[in-house]
Structures are given as C-alpha cells and as structure tokens.
Amino acid sequence: AQSVSQHNHHVILSEAASLELGCNYSYGGTVNLFWYVQYPGQHLQLLLKYFSGDPLVKGIKGFEAEFIKSKFSFNLRKPSVQWSDTAEYFCAVTVTGGGNKLTFGTGTQLKVEL
C-alpha cells in the first residue's frame, strides 16, 4: 500500500519568508499527487495537483510544487508567505489502478507570524 510522509509537522515563519514543505511517497508505480490546505474551521481545499506532464505545477495563491520522480517527492513551495497562509497543509496521493483512494500525509501545521 502506498504511504505519504510529511517530515515537517510544525513550521513557523515570519511574513515574507519563503516556504518549502516536504512530501515523500512510497510507491513505484504511476501516482497522482495533491496538496490540500485546511484553514482553521474550514474544509479541505485543493492547492494544486500533478497528474502528468510538466513536473513543476503551479497552484492557487502563489503556491507551486515540483514532482521529482527519482526522489519520490512532491514538495510544496511559496516564495513569500502571508499571515493568511496560516493553515494545515496535507500532501496526498492516489495510485493509478489502486482503487483511486486518496492517501494523506500526516499534515504540516504552518503558522505565519506578522
């Protein structure tokens, strides 16, 4: 079964700092990768996804992620964070032909300080 690891559980940044959240998955086949954000008291929202093609994916709110197949990674980045980016971030994966069930990482709680 596939698994997803997010190594940063809690991240605290000042506004305008750059962000990179790590995500690694363990599956050797064809994967589809997602980053979701959960703002306090709200439902999960899709930030970006990778299915195929250009491994550098741009999402909403200035976020981007790079799929590096050789490293089984899909790290999330943002050049300059804002206070409103304070939220929990989840990496998730589905496996083509694997029931199309989303498997989530443990999540990273990001706090952006003014």
Partner 1 sequence: GAVVSQHPSRVICKSGTSVKIECRSLDFQATTMFWYRQFPKQSLMLMATSNEGSKATYEQGVEKDKFLINHASLTLSTLTVTSAHPEDSSFYICSARFGRVPYGYTFGSGTRLTVV
Sites of contact with partner 1 (CB under 8 A): 32, 34, 36, 42-46, 49, 51, 90, 94, 96, 99-107, 109
| DSSP letter (8 states) at residue 72 | T
The Cα–Cα gap between 80 and 68 comes to: 22
| Residue tagged 């491994």 (tokens) | 55
Nearest approach, Cβ of residue 80 and partner 1 (Å) = 27
* Minimum distance of partner 1 from residue 64's CB (angstroms): 19
| Beta-bridge partners for 33 | 50, 93
Q: Which is nearer to partner 1, 42 or 114 (CB)?
A: 42
